[in-house]
């Protein structure tokens, strides 16, 4: 019997559990169950109308053809200017590569810099695609711990101990998925001191940079000497509620940008032209919708943190950014995946086990509060019921 040949490397490719839990939740809904969705990391807001209109106009104006692999010049200019203003140092358009979402930047940059056996350091718990792609490329994954005692900020002693002559990549993510932690200026200064001048690239995933509730956002690229050693990853998915549009970018040294553009030529050819025109409007048009969305997220954060802390067996730190909480559930006495499965199957709340983000996520759940206050209230009641029935 014919069986499709499968390359060995496919066994090393991981996944993002959020999409699997979403599919399970949708299957339960199809059977008539009511589910509160706290699993997927996407704003529940509509894309602002000025951005939608810009895309419609662009289609009518004929932006329906191939464009340059690295992105339309006007969008690359707009991104260079936006990143220059928000990170406080000048960038040029030839340092920008536009991609369908921010995720491809991870894949392309890692493909461009990592040889087999090279060491790549990344946050654990952390966005699962980092570890997945490091493994896929045959590089060596080196997880750096984020612990609750340290407010889920990267453990810099652990980082220092794990840096070696073979380290070629350090991934940072602040504000952080899944914990909502934000690295302080002191943290970033110390990290820069550890890596500056090494033969190592920093991939700084700054996709949640605008979702900040307290403290300050600092990009490591803005520190002396770090700009030429850093690739900034950012995009439109979270900031402008554009997850389904697929629009993101990387800002990196020109030599690396040339390689990433070549990977674009070999894969997507280019990002959809009319969507890139909408991206120009997103960056240059009114920003009130972002401010309002962040204010609403803050209200939700406050409600979910208070609500979780009122449930016996659960405790939750207050995250400073992004739209996730990472409550400690060890007081319930069950493993994260057991709790998450029971929550979905028996109580109608879709959430992710902390271990979906790496081994150091055991003992935690990840909840996305990109849902309405009324749905969050309902979820809190159900999580309380789940914790009580698990403990009894």
Distance CA 70, CA 103 (A): 15
Q: Which residue is nearest to ligand PLP (CB)?
A: 101
Binding to ligand PLP by residue 248, rule CB under 6 A?
yes
CB of 238 to ligand PLP, least distance (A): 7
Distance CA 270, CA 242 (A): 18
Binding to ligand PLP by residue 271, rule CB under 6 A?
no
CB of 64 to ligand PLP, least distance (A): 22
The number of residues that bind ligand PLP (CB under 6 A) is: 13
In 3-state terms the chain splits into helix, strand, coil percentages (rounded to 5) of 50, 15, 40
Distance CA 235, CA 251 (A): 11
Binding to ligand PLP by residue 103, rule CB under 6 A?
yes
CB of 14 to ligand PLP, least distance (A): 14
Binding to ligand PLP by residue 127, rule CB under 6 A?
yes
125 vs 363 by CB, closer to ligand PLP:
125
Distance CA 177, CA 82 (A): 23
- Asked if the bond preceding 312 is cis, omega within 30° of 0, the reply is no
Where in 29-68 is the site for ligand PLP (CB under 6 A)? 41
Where in 228-247 is the site for ligand PLP (CB under 6 A)? 235, 237, 243
Among 102, 125, 307, 358, binds ligand PLP (CB under 6 A): 102
Where in 146-205 is the site for ligand PLP (CB under 6 A)? 173, 177, 205
| Cβ atoms of residues 369 and 297 within 8 Å | yes
CB of 297 to ligand PLP, least distance (A): 14
Looking from the CA of 253 toward its CB, the CA atoms found within 13 Å total 14
Joined together, the tokens standing for residue 87 give 């990170």
Binding to ligand PLP by residue 128, rule CB under 6 A?
no
**What number of other Cβ atoms are within 10 A of residue 309's Cβ?**
13
Which of these, 209, 216, 120, lies nearest to 159 by C-alpha position?
A: 120
Residues lying near ligand PLP in the complex (CB under 6 A):
41, 101-103, 127, 173, 177, 205, 207, 235, 237, 243, 248
């Amino acid at each position: 019997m014919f069986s499709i040949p499968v390359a060995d490397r496919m066994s090393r490719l991981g996944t993002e559990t959020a999409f699997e839990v979403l599919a399970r939740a949708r299957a339960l809904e199809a059977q008539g169950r009511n589910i509160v969705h706290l699993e997927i990391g996407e704003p529940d807001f509509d894309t602002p109308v000025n951005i939608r209109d810009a895309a419609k106009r662009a289609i009518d104006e004929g932006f329906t053809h191939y464009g340059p692999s690295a992105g339309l010049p006007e969008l690359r200019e707009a991104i260079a200017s936006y990143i220059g203003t928000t990170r406080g140092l000048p960038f040029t358009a030839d340092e920008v590569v536009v991609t369908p979402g921010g995720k491809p930047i991870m894949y392309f940059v890692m493909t461009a810099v990592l040889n087999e056996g090279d060491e790549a350091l990344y946050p654990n718990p952390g966005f699962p695609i980092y570890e997945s792609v490091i493994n896929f490329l045959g590089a060596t994954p080196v997880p750096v711990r984020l612990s609750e005692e340290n407010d889920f900020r990267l453990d810099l002693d652990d980082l220092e101990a794990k840096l070696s002559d073979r380290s070629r990549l350090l991934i940072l993510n602040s504000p952080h998925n899944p914990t909502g932690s934000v690295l302080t200026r002191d943290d970033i200064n110390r990290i820069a001191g550890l890596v500056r001048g090494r033969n190592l690239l920093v991939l700084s995933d700054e996709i949640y940079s605008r979702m900040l509730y307290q403290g300050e956002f600092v990009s490591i690229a803005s520190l002396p000497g770090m700009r030429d050693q850093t690739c900034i990853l950012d995009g439109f998915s979270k900031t402008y509620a554009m997850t389904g549009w697929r629009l993101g970018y990387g800002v990196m040294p020109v030599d690396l940008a040339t390689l990433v553009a070549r990977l674009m030529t070999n894969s997507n050819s280019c990002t959809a032209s009319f969507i890139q025109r909408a991206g120009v409007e997103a960056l240059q048009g009114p920003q009130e919708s972002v401010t309002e969305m962040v204010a609403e997220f803050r209200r939700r954060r406050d409600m979910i943190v208070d609500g979780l802390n009122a449930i016996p067996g659960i405790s939750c730190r207050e995250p400073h950014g992004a739209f996730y909480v990472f409550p400690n559930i060890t007081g319930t006495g069950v493993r994260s995946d057991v709790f998450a499965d029971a929550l979905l199957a028996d109580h109608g709340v879709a959430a992710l086990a902390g271990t979906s983000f790496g081994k150091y996520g055991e003992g935690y759940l990840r909840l996305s509060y990109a849902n309405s206050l009324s749905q969050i209230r309902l979820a809190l009641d159900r999580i309380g019921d789940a914790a009580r029935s698990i403990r009894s």
